[in-house]
């Protein structure tokens, strides 16, 4: 959620590296920024409320410090202001911190009793004071200090730490919050996400929970929770800094919407063997499970609802979709006959990760649908399918969502092709033919962007916008509505079209925009009947349908026609106009599209 960057080395100015890294992490969402660096053997802290540009205005970039840590904060404890911003310093210890120390109030009282005075409202300052207290108590032994800190604290943390007594070292501590160590010749880094360091290196080490590291310019020593040194694999990131540039686009979100055909092609190449009508990678055999539970949050949960509809329809397996943040606290009916599928773009979503751990403890097999190789959820699930979407920078997901839906359609197809209902070779070949045409059809929709810009121009001044649909179209409505509200701040709701008459139709007033989605032939007439109901009450209806289901009449104001494709793949086309309408509504309202207020890209705290 927040961003951490640290540098220690002989080749670069530490402040330049850290500020550049923080700018690369702006997509994660934040409300203040700060940096700590060494100047004439003294540690200097500078921090400001608001954007990194505010911090850059006060930083002296002529300083040639070779070690620094920096942070972008997303407020959890205490309002966004300079006092609550990171880094925090107590005694000889300075830290930046992602996560939440759950028992910080008890620790704070104990520390106040021994003389510590706190300037902020944060749990981070308490963690810093605890480290300083333990450092003194342990005769200034850093390793024992960190081991004891880990035993006393509850919750999640990724910590970057500097100690006045050893300003030629940088420390990293990790539990339930992502933290990596980047490495290069005579210089090393810490970061909460790989994109922060891609301008400098693509080599990195993933810290596991309970591990901590002592890092110098030419060494990285990693220890487990018992203080024993462990060997770590140096990974290579599959990508470059160019992948996280906007190129010719005004916003990352628009770039990522337009990358969807390319991502789909990558997934076809990665998973499908067209010559042999089979999957290149072994898809998991789901036929042995009596039921499937999908756990996810936000757009990933909406992708799960699409997966539920497809798997139940074509795989004949019951699927439950659970919001991960609720899954942890409810009575569960899962066992060895249940497959739990965890969907997460980052692979670090805190609630989804905890759901995976619960599923593992319950004896379930687990499957991760993840975009980030080697992430926490990937490491904790029995099997992983990667979405191949590449770095997604905009907070509002588009290409990663589509990639998740694509993998779920592969799973449904794999179940279907092995069943007696669809085992004819021509049916298998038709899916593959339609799949290979999909990137072309996606591009066809993207080429009509002016049409969606005009629709946005007709609704962007409204205070309320509604989406209606049935079945799989309702799941698409939920995602379309979320895209609109999270980046434009317009109140938007999605409703099952058949439920309107049970109360919610009372919300429709003259001119209220209603986006009605009709792509399922079996229930098209029913949904159109519901659209007529809102139209008769004055709604401004935007009718989204496939070219084989188009009906003319006076029940809509604007019609969006999308190409018909294989039913398993149709959602991947239907979502694109909804993404572009949301984008242009937000743009017309001068919203900060890539960094919507109060939101963060990776939600790594509960």
The catalytic site residues sit at 2, 601
Where is 3: in which H helix or E strand? Answer: strand 3-9
DSSP assigned state of 207: P
Interatomic CA distance for residues 22 and 6, integer angstroms = 10
Query: Residue 161 corresponds to which tokens in the numbers above?
Result: 């730490």
Degrees (nearest 5) of the Cα angle 54, 56, 62? 155
Half-sphere exposure of 6 (CA within 13 A, CB side): 36
Q: Where are the alpha helices (DSSP H) in 272-375?
A: 298-315, 324-327, 350-361
Q: Where are the alpha helices (DSSP H) in 318-396?
A: 324-327, 350-361, 376-380
Q: Is 10 helix (H, G, I), strand (E, B) or coil?
A: coil
Burial of 285 (C-beta count, 10 Å sphere; 0-12/13-18/19+): exposed
CA torsion sign for 76, 81, 82, 84 is negative
Q: Is 363 helix (H, G, I), strand (E, B) or coil?
A: coil
CB contact at 8 A, 334 and 362: yes
Q: 579-601 burial, b for 16+ CB within 10 Å, e for fewer? A: bbbbbbbbbeeebebbbbeebbb
Please, which residues bridge with residue 203 across strands?
A: 236
Q: Is 165 helix (H, G, I), strand (E, B) or coil?
A: helix
Interatomic CA distance for residues 189 and 8, integer angstroms = 6
* φ, ψ dihedrals at 575, nearest 5°: -70, -25
Q: 335-344 burial, b for 16+ CB within 10 Å, e for fewer? A: eeebbbbbbb
CB contact at 8 A, 63 and 37: yes
């Amino acid at each position: 959620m927040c961003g951490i960057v640290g540098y220690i080395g002989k080749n670069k100015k530490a402040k330049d590296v850290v500020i550049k890294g923080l700018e690369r992490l702006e997509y994660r969402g934040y409300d203040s920024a700060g940096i700590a660096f060494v100047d004439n053997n003294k540690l200097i802290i500078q921090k400001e409320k608001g954007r990194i540009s505010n911090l850059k205005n006060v930083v002296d970039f002529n300083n040639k410090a070779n070690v620094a840590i920096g942070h972008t904060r997303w407020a959890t404890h205490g309002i966004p202001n300079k006092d609550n911003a990171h880094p925090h310093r107590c005694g000889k210890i300075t830290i930046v911190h992602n996560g939440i120390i759950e028992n910080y109030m008890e620790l704070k009282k104990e520390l106040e009793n021994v003389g510590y005075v706190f300037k902020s409202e944060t749990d981070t300052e308490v963690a810093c004071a605890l480290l300083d207290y333990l450092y003194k108590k342990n005769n200034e032994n850093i390793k024992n200090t960190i081991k004891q800190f880990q035993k006393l604290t509850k919750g999640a943390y990724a910590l970057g730490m500097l100690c006045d007594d050893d300003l030629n070292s940088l420390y990293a501590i990790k539990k339930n919050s992502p933290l990596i160590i980047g490495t290069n010749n005579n210089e090393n880094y810490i970061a909460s996400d790989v994109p922060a360091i891609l301008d400098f290196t693509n080599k990195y080490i993933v810290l596991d929970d309970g591990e901590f590291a002592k890092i110098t310019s030419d060494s990285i020593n990693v220890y487990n929770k018992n203080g024993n040194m462990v060997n770590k694999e140096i990974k290579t990131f599959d990508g470059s800094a160019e992948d996280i540039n906007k190129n010719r686009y005004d916003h990352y979100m628009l770039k990522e919407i337009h990358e969807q055909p390319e991502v789909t092609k990558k997934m076809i190449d990665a998973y499908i063997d067209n010559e042999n009508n089979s999957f290149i990678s072994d898809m998991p055999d789901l036929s042995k499970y009596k039921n499937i539970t999908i756990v996810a949050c936000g757009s990933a949960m909406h992708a799960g609802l699409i997966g539920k509809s497809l798997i139940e329809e074509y795989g004949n397996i019951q699927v439950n979709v659970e919001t991960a943040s609720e899954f942890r606290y409810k009575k569960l009916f899962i066992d060895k006959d249940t497959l739990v599928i965890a969907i997460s773009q980052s692979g670090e979503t805190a609630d989804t990760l905890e759901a995976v751990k619960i599923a593992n403890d319950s004896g379930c097999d687990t499957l991760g649908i993840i975009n980030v190789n080697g992430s926490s959820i990937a490491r904790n699930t029995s099997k992983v399918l990667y979405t191949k979407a590449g770095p997604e920078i905009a907070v509002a997901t588009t290409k990663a969502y589509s990639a998740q839906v694509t993998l779920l359609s592969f799973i449904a197809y794999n179940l279907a092709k092995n069943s007696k209902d669809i085992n004819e070779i021509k049916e298998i070949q038709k899916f593959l033919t339609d799949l290979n045409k999909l990137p072309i059809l996606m591009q066809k929709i993207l080429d009509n962007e002016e049409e969606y810009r005009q629709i946005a121009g007709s609704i962007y001044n409204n205070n309320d916008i509604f989406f209606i649909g049935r079945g799989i179209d309702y799941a698409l409505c939920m995602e379309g509505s979320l895209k609109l509200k999270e980046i434009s701040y317009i109140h938007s709701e999605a409703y099952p079209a058949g439920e309107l008459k049970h109360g919610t139709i009372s919300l429709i007033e003259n001119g209220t925009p209603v986006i009605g989605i009709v792509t399922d032939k079996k229930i098209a007439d029913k949904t159109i009947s519901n659209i007529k109901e809102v139209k008769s009450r004055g709604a401004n209806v935007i009718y989204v349908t496939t070219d084989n289901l188009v009906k003319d009449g006076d029940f809509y104001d604007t019609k969006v026609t999308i190409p018909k494709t294989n039913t398993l793949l149709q959602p991947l086309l239907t979502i694109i106009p909804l993404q572009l309408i949301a984008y242009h509504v937000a743009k017309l309202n001068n919203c900060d599209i890539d960094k919507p207020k109060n939101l963060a890209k990776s939600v790594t705290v509960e």
